[in-house]
Chains A and B, each alone.
Chain A
C-alpha cells in the first residue's frame, strides 16, 4: 500500500522492541467476541492510483457540471469564475495540510490570513468585527439566533418569509431541541414588511435576508429601529456575498448580527459543500459570538504577530457552558475567500458586482419578453423570480434534457406549498455568456409555447 511506509522488516524489528509477536497482540484489550480476525470482507481490496482515478472519474462523467452547459442555478450557492491563482495557492501543502493554529509560532501564515479574512468580512458587511468563519450560511444563521437568545435572554425568533428555506429549517431544528420559538412569516416574493407588527417583548431577534430568497431588495433600517425599540436584535442574512459589493451594507441598516454564505468568492460549488459561513457582529457582542477568532498581539521580541484568542468562549475551556459546540471553522475555504477577495480588491469587487447585476438585468428583460414568463421582481441583484405558465419543475427537467440548467424550482425548497409550483429562481453571474443566455431564451420559448 503506497501510503504506508513501514516494511515487513521494520514491523518485525518494532514488534521485537515492544516485546510482542504480532500486531494482533496489541489489540489484547479488545474483547475476543468483537475483534475481527480478518479485514471486512464485504469491501474491495487495495487499488492503484490509476484504477481509483478511473473509477471516480467515471462517476464524475455521469454528471452535468455547470462549466459544461449554460447554468442559471442559485438559491443559496452561485456559479462564479474562480481565478487559477486561488486554487494554486490553497493547494500549497503548508496551507492545505496544516493543523488548527494552536502553536502560533509555526502558524503565522494561517493566523495572518484569518486576520485579513476577518477584516474583509467586517468591511463588506459594514460591521465592527467578524469571526474566522463557520460551517456554512445556514448553520451560521441558526448560531446567530442562538446568540441573539443568549444576548437578550429571550426565546422567540421571527423569521422573514424571504429567508432561505434551508436557513429556516436548520434554525427550526435547533429551536426544537433547545425549546425556543420560531415564528416564520409567509413566503413572499416581494417580501413586504409586516414583520414589525410581529415584534413583542419576547422577541429575541428578527431574521431577514438581503437580497431575499426570491431576489427582492429591501432597506431594513426601519425594521432595525423597531427591533431596537423592543430590545430585540436585527439579524441580516445574505446568500450571495457579491451583492455586498453593490448594496448598502447590513451594518448601515442597523444590523446587530450579519451572517451569510461566502462560497461565491473563491470557492467552487462542490455539490453543496464544503462552503464557508460568514459571521459578523457589533463590537459589544464580541464575547457572545460563536466560532474561532484570530487576534493581533506581540511576541517575546515585541514584534507584531497573531494568535487564536478569546478561547474562553470555546468548547475546550468552558465545556457545557461554551457559547456553542463548534470547534472548527472553514479554514481553507476562508483562505480561498481571502485570496480571491485580495485579487479583486476594491476595483475588482465593485466591477464584478456591477457585472453580475447588469447581466441579470439583461436576462430579466429578455425573459420578460417570452410569452408564458412573468418576471416578478422590481428589484434584485443577480437573481430573480419568474412565474411560468406551467409547473417549473417539469420545465426545468425538460430543459436539462436539452443541456440547459435553467434555474431552481421554488417548490423544490417549499415542498408544502403547491401554490408556488410555477415559480422559478433564475441566477445570472459573470459566467453566463451571450450564447448561454440565447440558449436559455430559445429553450424556454420552445418549452412554453
Chain B
C-alpha cells in the first residue's frame, strides 16, 4: 500500500466500495413500476411471508456501485493479457451490437418456426463456417461451454460404441491435458488412463500405441498441445486410434493457432469442441457465458444431440425430439438451442475477417508467439527450443533459480506493472511453467514493451530485490489475498452483523 493514508481509504480514483447490502436504504428502489391491479390472488396459500433481505438502492447509487466495481477489474479492453491456453484477444463491439438487435435478442426459443426463420438461418450459417473451417461434416451447436462440448463429444463417442453393442471402458488422456479432459471422461462414465509426454513435449507415440486396445473407447488430445507445439505425429495417432476401433477426441482450445491453415477433419479426428470465446472472440465476461459447439466426423454425426437445425430447401426447421430425427441423437444436453447469442457474435467475427482474414489471424498469432520466444529465449528458459511454437510459448522458471523469487512473486509484480500475468504452473509436464499467449490482436509495440518489462524485471530479480517481489502487488485495490483462510472458513454470502 502507498504511504499516503486518506480518511476514506480511497486513493484517488481507486474508491472503496461496500457491498450493496451495506448500502441498504429501506424503501428505496431503482425501478418505477405501475400499480398492481387489485385481483383475487391464486397463490393457494403459499404467499411469501417475511422479508427477503434484499437492499434498497436508487438507480444513481446502483450505477455508481457497479462503475466502481468495474474499475477494480483488469480486462482485455484495458490491457495486454498474455494468458496461455486462454486466448484473450480483442472483442469487437460490432459483435455486441449484432447480438442485441431486435429480432434476435428478444426471440423466444419456442416461437413458431415461421416467426424465427432468420434466427435459424443464422445458426445454420454459423454452423456452416465452423464445419468448413474444420473440415468436418457435422456440428452439434448446443454445448454451453468448452467443457460441455467435451462432454457432448465423448457422449457421441460412447453412443456410437453402444450402437455397435460395445460400450468400452477406458479413455486415454495425455498428462498435459486440460483438467477438464479427465473430469469429462469420468463424467461420461469412463475410467481414465494417463499417457506420458516424450522429451519433445509431445504425446509419446510408443506409450500411446502400447495403451491402445479394444477396451479403449476414445483418446482425448489437445492439438496444438498445451506445450504450445503441434502434435506432428497426429495423423499416425489417428490411424492407430482407429485401428483399435476407438474414437479420436481433439480438444479445440487451441484452434486459434491453426484456423484457416489446418483442418482438423484432415487429421483424422472424430470430434472437437470449439471455444467460441477463444477463437471467435466472444467476450469471456469474467468467466462466462461460454459456448462450445462440437464438430463431428461422419462416424459420430448421427449421434449429435437434439435440437438441431435442418435446411429443408423450403425454409429452416428445428428437430427437437429423438423421435422426429432420422438420425440417432444421444439425447438433449441443454435446455433450448444452445448459446445463440454467442453464435451471433462469432458469425459477425468470422464474416468480418473472412476466410482470408482468419488465415492471417492464426498466422499473426503464431508469429507473435514466436517473436516473444525469439526475444526472450536468451533470458527465460524455453522448454522446447527445437520446434517453432504455435500461438503460445512455454518457458520454465529456471531463470529465477537462486534468486529467492518464485514464479508467483514474478507474476504478482507484473500486475503492478499493469500487465496481466501469464499462465503459471501449467502444463504440469514442465516444472515451474510459464505459458505466454500474445494472440494476433496485439501490436508489435505492445510486445516490445512487454519484452522490455520482462527483461528489466528479471534483472531486478537477479540483483536481489526479493522483498520487493514478495510484497507485490502494491498498487492494486487489494494486495495478495489469503486463499487458505477463504477455503478453511468459507464465507460465501453476506450476513447482517446482528445475525453473525
Contacts and interface: CB of A to CB of B under 8 A. Distances in A.
Nearest to A89: B66
A342 to B, nearest CB: 5
A245 B54 CA distance: 10
Contacts of B44: 217-219, 378-379
B392 to A, nearest CB: 13
A357 to B, nearest CB: 6
Which 7 residue pairs spanning A and B have beta carbons closest together?
A93-B77, A272-B336, A62-B118, A332-B285, A272-B109, A138-B335, A343-B30
A299 B415 contact: no
B46 A248 contact: yes
B189 A297 contact: no
A98 interface: yes
A335 B286 CA distance: 9
Nearest to B54: A346
A40 B324 contact: no
Nearest to B475: A105
Contacts of A349: 52, 54
A359 B154 CA distance: 46
B74 A106 contact: yes
Contact of B371 (A14, A139, A320): A14
Interface string B103-144: 111111111101111110110010001001100000000001
Contacts of A329: 287-288
Nearest to B86: A99
B50 to A, nearest CB: 9
A207 to B, nearest CB: 15
24 contacts: A3-B441, A25-B388, A30-B258, A40-B260, A56-B98, A63-B119, A64-B103, A83-B30, A88-B63, A96-B283, A98-B285, A119-B494, A135-B145, A248-B46, A248-B47, A261-B335, A293-B490, A309-B490, A325-B186, A328-B146, A330-B288, A331-B285, A359-B37, A408-B110
Interface stretch (A44-52, A195-203, A440-448): A44-52
A296 interface: yes
Q: Chain B CB within 10 Å — which of A96, A307, A364 has the most? A: A96
Given A23-B366, A46-B354, A307-B486, A62 B121 contact: yes
Contact of B107 (A63, A94, A139, A332): A63
A316 B183 CA distance: 9
B444 A299 contact: no
Interface in B326-341: 330-341
B493 A115 contact: yes
Contact of B78 (A93, A136, A396): A93
A284 B323 CA distance: 42
B53 A346 contact: yes
A273 B336 contact: yes
Contacts of A312: 487
Contacts of A92: 66-67, 70
B28 interface: yes
B230 A397 contact: no
Interface in B16-36: 17, 19-21, 26-31, 33-34, 36
A318 B49 CA distance: 42
B263 A34 contact: yes
A165 to B, nearest CB: 9
Interface stretch (B87-95, B242-250, B395-403, B452-460): B87-95
Contact of B36 (A85, A248, A303, A351): A351
Given A33-B235, A49-B94, A97-B75, A66 B107 contact: yes
A321 interface: yes
A94 B42 contact: no
B43 interface: yes
Contacts of A273: 109, 144, 289, 334-342
A412 B320 contact: yes
B371 to A, nearest CB: 5
B118 A61 contact: yes
A57 B101 contact: yes
A34 B420 contact: no
B206 interface: no
A72 to B, nearest CB: 10
A333 to B, nearest CB: 6
A102 B331 CA distance: 34
Interface string B185-203: 1111100100000000000
Contacts of A166: 332, 334-336
A271 B116 contact: yes
B415 A246 contact: no
Interface in A26-83: 26-31, 33-36, 38-49, 51-53, 55-68, 71, 73, 75-77, 79, 83
Contacts of A303: 478
Contact of A6 (B20, B26, B444): B444
Given A30-B230, A271-B340, A320 B366 contact: no
B2 to A, nearest CB: 11
Given A99-B88, A135-B144, 5 more contacts: A112-B17, A139-B333, A245-B48, A248-B46, A325-B184
Contacts of B99: 270
A17 B371 contact: yes
Contacts of B83: 99
Q: Chain B CB within 10 Å — which of A49, A85, A106 has the most? A: A106
Contact of A61 (B29, B103, B357): B103
B344 interface: yes
Report, as a range, how many residues of chain A touch the other chain: 35 or more
Where chain B touches its partner, the secondary structure class is loop
A354 B103 CA distance: 29
Contacts of B150: 325
B388 A316 contact: no
A23 B363 contact: yes
B11 interface: no
Q: Chain B CB within 10 Å — which of A35, A56, A139 has the most? A: A56
A336 to B, nearest CB: 10
A85 to B, nearest CB: 6
A319 B421 CA distance: 24
Interface in A205-232: 217-219
B326 to A, nearest CB: 15
B10 interface: no
Given A1-B361, A274-B342, A303-B478, A331 B288 contact: yes
B66 A247 contact: no
Contact of A89 (B67, B97, B324, B420): B67
A6 B179 CA distance: 34
Contact of B119 (A105, A271, A347, A352): A271
A381 to B, nearest CB: 7
Contacts of B102: 60, 65, 67-68
A415 interface: yes
B71 interface: yes
B40 interface: yes
A275 B335 contact: yes
Contacts of A18: 367, 370-371, 373-374, 388
B266 interface: yes
Nearest to A5: B443
A98 B479 contact: no
A132 B477 CA distance: 22
Contacts of B283: 96-97, 332
Contacts of A97: 75-77, 91, 283-285
B354 A44 contact: yes
A362 to B, nearest CB: 6
Contacts of B336: 76-77, 136, 166, 271-273, 275
